[in-house]
Amino acid sequence: MNAIVCFISGQEIFIVFVVVLLLFGAKKIPEIARGLGKGMREFRKATEDIKREINEQSEDISNDINDIKKTLNN
């Protein structure tokens, strides 16, 4: 996401802000920002949950492989 921000200049950000202000009005912008923030938080939480699940599964598989190796070596 940082790479995208690098290609947007200050003038372009200002124009986008003005268009959003004209479309939604000053009263709706905080609500929209809150909704976007909430959505981003939920997305990040879901991403972290998926990463945690994958890590737990890979640890379980590693433990199973190590147990099999120990059994075969004995």
Q: Would you state the pLDDT for residue 46?
A: 96
Provide the domain limits for residue 15.
2-73
pLDDT per position in the chain (74 positions), as tens?
A: 455 556 778 888 888 888 888 888 888 888 888 998 999 999 999 999 999 999 999 999 999 999 999 998 87
Q: Would you state the pLDDT for residue 39?
A: 94
pTM check: above 0.75: no
**Per-residue tokens: 15:** 């124009």
Amino acid identity, position 43: F
| Number of domains, the chain | 1
3-state helix, strand, coil in the chain (%, to 5): 90, 0, 10
Locate all alpha helices (DSSP H) within 2-28, ordered by sequence.
Answer: 2-6, 10-24
